[in-house]
């Protein structure tokens, strides 16, 4: 079977991921599945503070900063030993963790910038002072995140896109994908639409097939998808 141009563009790496997602959004809109479109919108526009971000968008950083040990030795741009602060393990873990909520285009731009190796989350001075003690006085600190972690997000999204396009090709054909119009087939064969929507939901949300209840516009029941969008 001949492959669609959309699939070729995705794997070539010559077209940015945002462009691929926008084209995919047009095609997937014919499936009329709010959960699939919700994932597309999250990746395009970013995830709001009220949204639970996908696991692949949760990354851990390293605390780098300037601090004084025992009132004498001063270290600059060094790894901050947070275990010597008043913070417990859980609070340290929370401080180092970043839920990447930016849209995919912002992630791509950051990775293509000259500061790609200095991406980080600055910690307010008052917080640095609050968690300090005599043994460790933190003057300034930034949680640095590796560019590889952001590249892994892009890689994960592209992998899902490739799988989704292959499902669409199998169910609707490469020509329909290139024309970005599967509406007639969706209307003529509702079962084909439902099968495609079910598989794509599983690909997007890593769902077990038994946790998705078909019918009633693919209503999600006690699943990860439902939790992501606040449904029960």
pLDDT score at 218:
41
Q: Check: pTM over 0.75? Answer yes or no.
A: yes
Least confident of 80-89, 118-127, 209-218: 209-218
Residue extents of the structural domains in the chain: 5-54+153-228, 57-150
- pLDDT on residue 206: 79
What digits encode the pLDDT tens for the residues 87-101?
A: 999 999 999 999 999
Mean pLDDT for the chain overall: 89
| Model confidence pLDDT, tens digit, residues 118-160 | 999 999 999 999 999 999 999 999 999 999 999 999 999 999 9
Starting at the earlier edge strand, list the strands of the sheet with 62-69. Answer: 73-79, 62-69, 136-144, 120-123
């Amino acid at each position: 079977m001949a492959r669609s141009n959309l699939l070729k563009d995705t794997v070539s790496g010559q077209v940015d991921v945002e462009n691929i997602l926008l084209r995919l959004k047009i095609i997937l809109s014919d499936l009329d599945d709010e959960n699939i479109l919700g994932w597309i919108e999250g990746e395009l526009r970013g995830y709001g503070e009220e949204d639970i971000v996908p696991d692949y968008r949760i990354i851990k950083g390293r605390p780098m900063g300037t601090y004084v040990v025992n009132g004498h030795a001063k270290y600059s741009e060094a790894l901050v030993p947070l275990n010597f602060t008043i913070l417990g393990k859980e609070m340290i873990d929370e401080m180092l963790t970043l839920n990447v909520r930016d849209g995919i285009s912002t992630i791509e731009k950051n990775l293509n910038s000259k500061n790609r190796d200095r991406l980080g989350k600055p910690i307010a001075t008052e917080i640095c002072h609050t968690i300090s003690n005599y043994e460790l006085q933190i003057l300034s600190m930034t949680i640095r995140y590796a560019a590889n972690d952001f590249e892994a997000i892009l890689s994960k999204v592209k992998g899902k896109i490739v799988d989704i396009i292959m499902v669409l090709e199998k169910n609707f054909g490469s020509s329909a994908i290139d024309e970005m119009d599967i509406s007639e087939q969706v209307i003529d064969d509702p079962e084909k639409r439902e099968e495609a929507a079910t598989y794509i939901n599983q690909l997007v949300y890593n769902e077990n097939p038994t946790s998705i209840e078909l019918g009633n516009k693919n209503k999600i029941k006690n699943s990860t998808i439902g939790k992501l969008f606040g449904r029960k």
